[in-house]
Structures are given as structure tokens and as C-alpha cells.
Chains A and B, each alone.
Chain A
């Protein structure tokens, strides 16, 4: 029976599915044509000559940005139409009076969605990976991984929502209403301090996303079961609204809880044991610019605390995920606690700086102006919890600065070239494996060892075991720009264009080894002595 229903759906939707498959394969071909260098066509710098000219592959680049959106929309539409060929709601459907088991109908629809919607994506992904020269096993893993991700994060939801609607019009109206509600509630959440914790704190939000993905999948499974087993459309629609609200309104996992879980998942939990954070009392108030996000309330007082991290192994990076601070006055009252922690964000390390180099860095403590006025001259106790990640070098690769072309296990297939606009070197990689969570690239002149400023130091290390978004295919691509001076000669770099033939790009990849917390206690401090100029 499953086969007969599928055959009927194939007859009805086959041409549309074939057209959509064509779109997937066209996208694959466009990505193949672009190759390793898939960078925004406009250079990042704007010099006296204005914006740099477009890259040669501008059209292809634009297509590879537009095609995925089109293909996701068209696939969602295809799934909805497949399901609605034998819609569950309503009393006029032909299947209701035919000897068709509901379980068979569900399985037939499942097969149809897998074959017509997902299989072409999988096939295009697999072919794309193979044509990019990745081994069959790695190509299969990448294609399968993306298909599984798409299934659970997108297609299953569309399948479930389509089962609640009779026709495309209902589906489009429903989807529009949900999308509108989503943005309204997201906007509301963005003003909610609890929800904001994940926006401003560290990289462990994947735990929260995983929980929400779980809610989505459970919700979809419940709706599909109700619809196909019992045809309870009204109840299912109510439940759908319930799941939707649950998804958006339930507070995020407390950030500390998420980090505690991340700590348990540390690859080498003892690696950070030697790391200590201390207050550098004998140092004058630093003059350097405070690091970290801008305060929400610009009237906050910025207390600049020199802090030093010790015990960081050579070559490792200490990444500050977040911090919370408590100010305790002499009478033992906690005047500020972690509930206000969004204002105490600070990053104890910065790109390129070795925390153990002996140079203290500035930790910015943002204190509400009213509180600061009251306690500025009092001796107070300060307790700061730091949430830290230790990243160690996982692999190092070098590529010739010009015409580099090599493959490696961690980075995939990489190449180097001077951008069409000139003034910068493009380092482009395509990888069938997960990209490194953290990597840095530096342009080095081999004869002298002179280096330009590094690029890509752990701006946003990612510990997530699943993708963050929906890419155009199963391969991971990243293109970094290493400037060596723009054509107008305004910028000056140690490594210049004439030196490129004898230069190389050093790529260092880091891997998170340990996630841990450190508490810094300053028993007595007067905040006014450390505050930034008012």
C-alpha cells in the first residue's frame, strides 16, 4: 500500500521534485565552480579610492547565496504539497473512504518526503563532495550529516505543520502567522535580561539550541502521531501553538548551568588546572581601551581592573566565555550580584596576546551609576567568577602565499591567491569535516620571519556538535583575508606584495581542551581608585 500511495504521489509531484533537484544540482555546480574561495565580493577595506571593485565571481557568489534560500523554500513547499495530496484535516479527502491504513499513509508520505525532498539534496551534497576530491567515506559522512540535520531541524517541522493544513493557502497563511509571531516574540526576548544571557555570553548556547531542537522534534512527532493516528486537527493545532509558545517563551537554560554541562564535556578536564587569575594591585589604572561589549546603560561606571592570567601553557589560548561579579559592602550586604551580570561582561584575553606573557589585561567592571555613587569611596569586597576555556594547538599548516593548493585532514582543501581587487591575500578552504572551532592565520615572510597581524583568532569558537545554520551544501567553507597593503599604499604592513613569492601563510588550528571556572576575590578595594575617567 505504501508503495502504491508513493507511486501516486510520485506521478503527481515527480516533475516538481525533478525541477527542485535541478536547483540543488545547479547550486552544487555553482559552488564547485567557485571552488575554495567563497568570500564576499566586496573587500572589507574602504580606502581613499572608495570601495574596492567586485570580485570576478560576483554573480556566482550571489547565486550561491540566493539559491539555498530558494531551495529551502521550494523544498518546504514540496513537502507541504506531498502531505496535502492526502490531507488529514477536512471531510472531502478521497483517502478517507479508501481501504488505506493510516499508518501506511503516514509511511508513504514519509517515504515520499525522503525520496522527493531530501534524497536530491543528499545526492547533490554527495556528488559535490566527491567532485571536490574528498574520499567517498568522508563525502558520505558529510552528506548524511547535513541530511540528518536538515531533517530534524527543518523538514520534520514542515511535515508536521503541513499535516495540520488542508491546502497550500492554509499552509502559507499558517507559516506566515508563525513567522510573524516568532519575530515578535524574539524581539520581546531580546529585551528580556534572562534571554539576553546567551546573546552576550560565550559559546555554549548550543546546549540551549539543542534543548529547543528537542522541543521542536518532540512537538513534530506528537503532532504527526495525533494527526495520522487520530485525525485530531483541532487538538493538534492547539498543541502546535502550545509547543510554539513553549519554544519561544520558556526561559533559556541558565547560562551557568549550560557552562557546567560544557565543563563536564571537556575533552581534557585537567588541562586548565594550572590556570590562575589574579588582581594586579600594584599597577596603575590602565589607559587602554576597555574590552567587551558596550554597556546597555551608558551611564554605568566602568571600573578598570588590571588582571593577570598565569599558568596558561605555551601556545595555548585562554578564552573568556563570561564572568559574573558580586560587590559586597562592609556590612556584609551583596550590593550587586550575578543577576546584574550582563553588565559585568569582560573578556580576560584578547586575540594575539598571550595571557602568560606577564602583561596584565583590563577587566571592565560595569557598575550602575547609582550604586557606584553610594559605594565608590567605601572599601568593598569584590568577587568575580570567570568562565574560561583553554584552547590548545591541534594542528598547524603552512601554504605558499601565492598559488597554494593542498589538502589536509583538519582544514580540508585549501588554496591561496591575491584577491582580484589586490591588496589582500585570500586563503580559501573547503572541508568535508567540521571546521576548526578556532583558528588563526598569519602571513609570514620566510627569509626574516616577519609577520603581518594575524587574522581569525577565536572570534567566536564553536563547541557545538551540530551546525549553527543552514549552509548551501554539506561542505564547510571559509575564506580569510590577509591584507598586505591596499593599492593606494595607505596601509603599511611588514609583509608587502613584492615579498609574497617568498612568503607563506601559517594556519594554526586550536581545539577546546578544558572548560573551567576561576574565582577572583579582591578582599578590599575602593572602586573610585580604579574607575575610568568620568
Chain B
């Protein structure tokens, strides 16, 4: 992860967050967050409910101000974000209030003049892809339709930065597919910051992942690094197994059933794994280490945090 204010790999950082704190009365929602989002990347902010994902995004958008720390979005302090920056930022949130009495068409008519880069052809193709009823009032749309409409309003001006806050919650699989399809068609041109519980949807989309827990960022790394270091390991022994004692700190969810010991290795190294297992367990018959999906990694970490193991 690059330090805020620096370029990473020759690419500038669209978002730089440094020691961000946010307090709501007595509740510390964010505690010293530091991370960066490189231009062109798709950064997934994941974490359990109440972890601070939405608060982080609202600070980035200057919807709420930070209590402490620096937040820089597209080279501008978040507290000074002006219409100039906002005209290049797309924002989709499940909790966004939209003018329910306007039709989809009227709402698009309303938005177009605010964005000098608005592309009518792109608008038409996005609308076609998302199957939106233009003449229907926004208030009469289902939740899924409203989310698709929010996306349809965020894409036609080709934003440099697209921020999606829980865009998939409450959407059925078909709508999710349509949503992702539209998103992926545009993703190459923009930087995306997405917070979501629906990790299976962003598994193949995100290039970077940040894991938030109770306002703290536990890690932030590339998707490749993350999937590379997590493995679901299954060790078959020659005799009934017992959990190794002491347990290695980087092994999570360790279980021994019959002659099989299973665990999640959070520091996987293909070269060292066999030797390490044999040093801890006797009579190893076979070792099977499988890559993990983002969703599995998230649930493992979330459970471990809940149980105080991570």
C-alpha cells in the first residue's frame, strides 16, 4: 500500500486517507484509517455491519466531515470538494434519497446539465442494458430498479471515480448481474471504490481490498496478494488427530475431526507449508491447500474477529 500523497507504480492516487478519525458523539466510528486507492483500480472496502464503510465513504464525499485526519479525493481535501470534483465523481448508495415524484426520464433530464461530460449515447446504452422504465416515477420503482437507476445516472458522464456504497444489498441475482455487467463495461476507464457485503459479486472485479473492523482498517492489499496468502488447508493424518498446541497465530478456524485437521492459513507459502505442518503434526498422510474466494476469506476473518481469534 502506498503512502497517501505519493504515486504508486507511476499511477497517482485518486483517494488518499491518512489517520482518519470520525466520532459521532461518544461513538468512534473510524479510528485512524490510512489507505490509498490508485487510479484505475477497483478498491473493495469490506467489513461487517457497523465496521465504518459507509462513514468512510460519506467522509470521502464530504457528506460528513472528519473529526481528525486528512482525506484527499482527486487531489483535493475532502472538506473542500467543489462541484468541479463532484462533476467527475459518480456516487451510488443504497441509502440515497431520490426525488420520488420525478420519472426516471425527468430525473435524467434534471441531471444532464450538471455534468459537462454527459454522453447521451452512453446514457442510452446503459439504460438499454439496465432495462429501466423511463416513464415510471422513481417512487414507484422497486429497490433494485432504483439502484439500477442510480447507476444509470452515475455512468453517462464517464466519472473518473465511481463510489458505490452497498450497491447490491437487496438486489436479486438477475439485477446484480445487470448491474455488474454495466459496471464492468465502464470499469476500465475509472477508479472504483466499492463497499459491499456481496463479496461474490466483486470477487472478480476488485483489484484491491481493504478490511474494516470496528472503525479500524485491518489490512489493505491487492486482491492477488490476498488470495495468494489465504488457503483452506486440509491435513489427513494416519491416526486420530488433535489440534496442535500451541496454535500458530496465522492459522484460523482450526478443527480436528477424526484423522483430519483443517484450518485457514493466512500466510500461505507453498514451499514452507508442508514442512511447517509436519513440525506441528505427526503422521501426516496428505496435505490439500485450496485457494479461497473473497467471500470465504471475509467470513473467516469476520468469525475469527468475533471470536477474538484474529
User: Contact residues of A with B, CB < 8 Å?
Assistant: 1, 4, 7-8, 11-12, 85, 90-94, 96-101
Question: Contact check: which of B84, B99, B111 meets A12 at CB < 8 Å?
Answer: B99
Return chain B residues, CB-CB under 8 Å to A90. 97
User: Pick the contact of B99 from A92, A94, A99, A101 — CB < 8 Å?
Assistant: A94
- Give the distance in Å from the alpha carbon of A8 to the alpha carbon of B107 in the complex: 8
A95 to B197 CA separation, bound complex (whole angstroms): 26
**Interface pair B114/A99, CB less than 8 Å apart:** yes
Known contacts A4-B113, A11-B106, A99-B115: A91-B63 contact under CB 8 Å: yes
Q: Which of A85, A98, A99 contacts B84 (CB 8 A)?
A: A99
Residues of A within 8 A of B113 (CB): 1, 4
Query: Is B96 part of the contact surface with A, judged by Cβ < 8 Å?
Result: yes
Q: Given the interface contacts A12-B101, A97-B91, does A91 sit within 8 Å of B64 by beta carbon?
A: yes
Given A8-B110, A96-B62, A99-B83, 19 other A-B contacts at CB below 8 A? A1-B113, A7-B110, A11-B106, A12-B99, A85-B99, A90-B97, A92-B93, A92-B96, A96-B61, A97-B63, A97-B86, A97-B93, A98-B114, A99-B84, A99-B85, A99-B86, A99-B114, A100-B83, A101-B82
B99 touches A8 (CB 8 A): yes
- Judge whether B303 is part of the interface by a CB distance below 8 angstroms: no
Which of chain B's residues have a CB closer than 8 A to the CB of A1? 113-114
A-B contact pairs, 17 of them (CB 8 A): A1-B113, A8-B99, A8-B102, A11-B106, A12-B99, A12-B102, A85-B99, A90-B97, A92-B93, A92-B96, A96-B62, A97-B86, A98-B111, A99-B114, A99-B115, A100-B83, A101-B82
Within 80-95 of B, Cβ neighbours of A (below 8 Å) are at 82-87, 89, 91, 93, 95
Which residue of B has the minimal Cβ distance to A15? Answer: B101
Say yes or no for B1: interface residue by CB 8 A criterion: no
- B83 near A93: Cβ-Cβ < 8 Å: no
B98 contacts A by Cβ under 8 Å: yes
Q: Assuming A97-B61, A99-B114, is B95 touching A92 (CB within 8 A)?
A: yes
Give Cα A94–Cα B108 distance, bound, in whole angstroms.
13
Asked if B295 lies at the interface with its beta carbon under 8 angstroms from chain A, I say no
- Within the assembled complex, what's the spacing in Å between the Cα atoms of A319 and B114? 64
Contact of B58 with A by CB under 8 A: yes
Give the contacting residue for B89; candidates A7, A92, A97; CB below 8 A.
A97
Count of residues in B whose CB is under 8 Å from the partner chain: 27
Query: A101 → chain B, closest Cβ, in Å?
Result: 5
Interface of chain B residues 110 through 152 with chain A (CB within 8 A): 110-111, 113-115
- Residue of A7, A91, A92, A100 near B114 (CB, 8 A) is A100
**Given the complex, which residues of B lie within 8 Å of A100, measured CB to CB?**
83, 86, 114
Assess the A4–B102 pair: CB atoms within 8 A: no
Residue of A1, A96, A100 most packed against chain B (CB within 10 A): A96
Using Cβ atoms and an 8 Å threshold, which residues of chain A touch B95? Answer: 92
- Cα(A95)–Cα(B227), bound, Å: 39
Residue of chain B at shortest CB distance from A87: B97
- Cβ of B58: which chain A residues have Cβ within 8 Å of it? 91
Minimal Cβ-Cβ distance residue in B for A13 = B101
Partner among B64, B86, B97, B111 whose Cβ is within 8 Å of the Cβ of A93: B97
**Chain B residue contacts of A12, Cβ below 8 A:** 99, 101-102
CA distance A90 to B63 in the complex (A): 9
Q: Which 7 A-B pairs have the closest CB atoms?
A: A99-B83, A99-B87, A97-B91, A99-B86, A92-B97, A8-B110, A91-B63
B78 CB → nearest A CB, Å:
12
* Interchain nearest-CB distance for A4 vs B (Å): 5
Bound complex: CA A92 to CA B99 (Å): 12
Q: Within residues 27 to 46 of chain B, which ones have a CB less than 8 A from any CB in chain A?
A: none
List which B60-86 residues lie within 8 A (CB) of chain A: 61-64, 82-86
Could you tell me the distance between the alpha carbons of A94 and B92 in the complex, rounded to whole angstroms? 10
Docked Cα-Cα span, A470 to B280, in Å, equals: 89
Cα A90 to Cα B61 with chains together (Å): 14
B83 A4 Cβ-Cβ under 8 A: no
A151 vs B63: C-alpha distance in the bound complex, in angstroms? 31
Provide the bound-state CA to CA distance between A11 and B61, in Å: 28
Docked pose: A7 CA to B113 CA in angstroms: 12
Min C-beta distance of B155 to chain A, whole Å:
14
